[in-house]
Chain A
């Protein structure tokens, strides 16, 4: 195991019949890192996670989680990871504590360990007061925290979260991500899949999956710099559709596309600028547009990468 690396993936592939779900994926995840795995549905995110959790045998390549090979010792892998799926697989007819007790038992915790850990994880997810509530009576955001608590009942060094915030309200999502960052700060490694681009910003590094292949991998800022070079400005005003062909044809403009009621225009700042764009519009008799610089989002990265393919 390389220094500080807890997940090592090399040329990992998985085939279902003739369909190649995951195609020679390689990456490393370091201890305490929040690693985001991004991609559309069917891009191979879940298949990768299932291989890393020891649920699915790889067709080719190798992967080691916490130093344990997933193909040779899937049970060994299971012991050192926690897994939380988008469905929050809890027993709705049991209370919060009863759920934790059951999953703790499934990991073979003794009664004493269980009592200690139950308190610890409930405190960590701030659910001490709801400990005797039936899980089914809790709102979605709280259930999600209970699911996280039960995924870490056995104190795993690595947590796999498969779309953990699907169907949860924005407020609860924010709380959840604060929790994730705290956990990572304490040394837990987090491997998380999501299709919410705003959430991906919280990750230390992001891997982008398209059609089973890992097409980009880096920190969010670096991805933005490499895949969305230049500056972006938003163009707002009536008649934005007439402005589109004008701006799109200017030298130095890399890209212009409709966005909401207005436009997003990306340009090379060494060749042109916002004043030049405004002037070009004025020359064509198009006035009254407001141009504001905006920061590129991971959505822009995602679109740029997919288009480049």
Chain B
């Protein structure tokens, strides 16, 4: 036993030394996650505002000018162009929305006839198009409602009757992310992705490198057990992964105002189990790969679907049934779930028994599989 611990210690010390001696490796482990989070956090901003908008005012009346002015007062739209032809600028991508107020608009309104406003939307980016459409619709619906109410009131007053206009007043209250800022939704997902990429690739590469350089043969003639070698490889990267993960969360809370409402214990427990899964996958990949290139390639075979199925961009619930089933095999999915629950909803360990257990199962399973394969291959 004492011998076993000594061998594990020797490997851990060696791995740490090599990691920090190789400046690139240290950069991959610490700088890359923070940089990626910051970049992704800013870039993957799904809030739709300042949509470049073309205004075509064919009516040229005080009423049309007033309508357009109020419509564009909100930051959702930005009047970038005026003109008469909406097709050209939209095809060239200069504007995403065009609002056309046809001739006769003010006349129609004044006489109480139905008036038309044409809104053209570039649907290339569905998220943006939907938000823009919703913005326009909401504004114009409110506008119609105001007009209708005003007219009803005026008519009632003219005939000397009291006015009662029935209305539903909606009082929305958004939980967990009240201002609906997308970084708060994105950061937990990005954190999971960043940890996934870093730890899987680094582990797979570190074992593949020993194979490539032939040092593994030198290790095999020592009486060191293969399990000791694997433990020695996994422990330092698990520790470094925890530190990198903590760093990423810290950046998320300081740069993107992501709250930490739940139990930090649950957070780190989840992270530890998640790292077990990603490191185990790295070990497994390294038993298939013979050199570092193959290890990187193999890692991405796992990483890409793991990211797509994790629900970090689009909710898992929106995916087709069979894909949801497959996503149950994705450790990133559970970790994203845990992170969001802890950070935004204030969940604790007891609320997260399901995903934690799933991660534990996956982690133990893949580690066992990787270890078995590793032992078989070296024996």
- B10-A106 in contact (CB<8A): yes
Question: Nearest Cβ in chain A — how far from B11, in angstroms?
Answer: 8
- B218-A85 in contact (CB<8A): yes
Question: Nearest Cβ in chain A — how far from B258, in angstroms?
Answer: 37
Which residues of A are found within 8 Å of B10, using beta-carbon distances? 101-102, 104-106
Which residues of B are found within 8 Å of A107, using beta-carbon distances? 222-224
| CB within 8 Å for A89 and B7 given contacts A102-B14, A108-B223 | no
- Residue on B nearest A106 in the bound complex, by CB: B222
- B13-A94 in contact (CB<8A): no
Question: Nearest Cβ in chain A — how far from B30, in angstroms?
Answer: 18
- B14-A108 in contact (CB<8A): no
What are the interface flags for B26-62 relative to A under an 8 Å C-beta threshold, 1 for contact and 0 otherwise? 0000000000000000000000000000000000000
Partner of A89, one of B3, B6, B22, B215: B215
Partner of B18, one of A81, A94, A108: A94
- B217-A105 in contact (CB<8A): no
- Residue on B nearest A89 in the bound complex, by CB: B218
- Residue on A nearest B12 in the bound complex, by CB: A105
- A89-B217 in contact (CB<8A): yes
- B221-A83 in contact (CB<8A): yes
- A85-B217 in contact (CB<8A): yes
Interface centre among A94, A98, A106, A110 (most CB of B within 10 A): A106
Judge if A103 is at the interface, Cβ distance under 8 Å: yes
Judge if B158 is at the interface, Cβ distance under 8 Å: no
Judge if B17 is at the interface, Cβ distance under 8 Å: yes
- A108-B3 in contact (CB<8A): yes
- B213-A89 in contact (CB<8A): yes
- A98-B223 in contact (CB<8A): no
Which residues of B are found within 8 Å of A81, using beta-carbon distances? 221
Which residues of A are found within 8 Å of B376, using beta-carbon distances? none
Judge if B126 is at the interface, Cβ distance under 8 Å: no
Give complex CA distance A83, B219 in Å: 10
- Residue on A nearest B218 in the bound complex, by CB: A89
- A91-B215 in contact (CB<8A): yes
Q: Which bracket fits the contact residues of A? A: 20 to 34
Question: Nearest Cβ in chain A — how far from B7, in angstroms?
Answer: 6
- B17-A98 in contact (CB<8A): yes
Interface centre among A55, A87, A102, A109 (most CB of B within 10 A): A102
Interface residues of B in 314-338 (CB under 8 A from A): none
- B13-A105 in contact (CB<8A): yes
Judge if A25 is at the interface, Cβ distance under 8 Å: no
Question: Nearest Cβ in chain A — how far from B340, in angstroms?
Answer: 40
Judge if A93 is at the interface, Cβ distance under 8 Å: yes
- B6-A110 in contact (CB<8A): yes
Partner of B17, one of A83, A94, A104: A94
Judge if B160 is at the interface, Cβ distance under 8 Å: no
Give complex CA distance A78, B220 in Å: 9
Give complex CA distance A107, B11 in Å: 11
Which residues of A are found within 8 Å of B9, using beta-carbon distances? 105
Give complex CA distance A101, B6 in Å: 11
- Residue on A nearest B225 in the bound complex, by CB: A75
- A106-B224 in contact (CB<8A): yes
Give complex CA distance A110, B10 in Å: 10
| CB within 8 Å for A78 and B223 given contacts A85-B218, A105-B7 | yes
Judge if A247 is at the interface, Cβ distance under 8 Å: no
Judge if A200 is at the interface, Cβ distance under 8 Å: no
Interface residues of A in 90-118 (CB under 8 A from B): 90-94, 98, 101-110
| CB within 8 Å for A105 and B6 given contacts A78-B223, A89-B218 | yes
Which residues of B are found within 8 Å of A174, using beta-carbon distances? none
Give complex CA distance A79, B225 in Å: 12
Question: Nearest Cβ in chain B — how far from A88, in angstroms?
Answer: 9
- A90-B223 in contact (CB<8A): no
Which residues of A are found within 8 Å of B6, using beta-carbon distances? 105, 108-110
- Residue on B nearest A107 in the bound complex, by CB: B222
Which residues of B are found within 8 Å of A101, using beta-carbon distances? 10, 13
Which residues of A are found within 8 Å of B213, using beta-carbon distances? 87, 89, 92
Which residues of B are found within 8 Å of A83, using beta-carbon distances? 218, 221
Which residues of A are found within 8 Å of B7, using beta-carbon distances? 105-106, 108
Which residues of B are found within 8 Å of A92, using beta-carbon distances? 213
Question: Nearest Cβ in chain B — how far from A34, in angstroms?
Answer: 20
Which residues of B are found within 8 Å of A54, using beta-carbon distances? 221
Give complex CA distance A105, B215 in Å: 15
- B214-A89 in contact (CB<8A): yes
- A93-B21 in contact (CB<8A): yes
| CB within 8 Å for A78 and B215 given contacts A94-B18, A105-B6 | no
Question: Nearest Cβ in chain B — how far from A73, in angstroms?
Answer: 10
- B220-A55 in contact (CB<8A): yes
- Residue on A nearest B10 in the bound complex, by CB: A105
- Residue on A nearest B21 in the bound complex, by CB: A93
Question: Nearest Cβ in chain A — how far from B28, in angstroms?
Answer: 15
Judge if A21 is at the interface, Cβ distance under 8 Å: no
Judge if A51 is at the interface, Cβ distance under 8 Å: no
- B14-A91 in contact (CB<8A): yes
- Residue on B nearest A53 in the bound complex, by CB: B221
Which residues of A are found within 8 Å of B217, using beta-carbon distances? 85, 87, 89
Give complex CA distance A93, B26 in Å: 14
- Residue on A nearest B224 in the bound complex, by CB: A106
- B215-A93 in contact (CB<8A): no
What are the interface flags for A66-87 relative to B under an 8 Å C-beta threshold, 1 for contact and 0 otherwise? 0000000001001101010101
Would you give 16 A-B contacts (Cβ < 8 Å), ordered by A?
Answer: A79-B223, A85-B217, A85-B218, A89-B215, A92-B213, A98-B17, A102-B11, A103-B222, A104-B10, A105-B13, A106-B219, A106-B222, A106-B224, A107-B224, A108-B7, A110-B6
Which 8 A-B residue pairings sit nearest by Cβ, starting from the closest? A105-B10, A89-B218, A108-B3, A83-B221, A106-B222, A87-B214, A78-B223, A89-B215
15 more CB-based (< 8 A) A-B contacts, given A93-B21, A106-B224, A107-B223? A87-B213, A89-B214, A92-B213, A93-B22, A101-B10, A102-B11, A102-B13, A103-B218, A105-B7, A106-B7, A106-B10, A106-B11, A107-B222, A108-B3, A108-B6
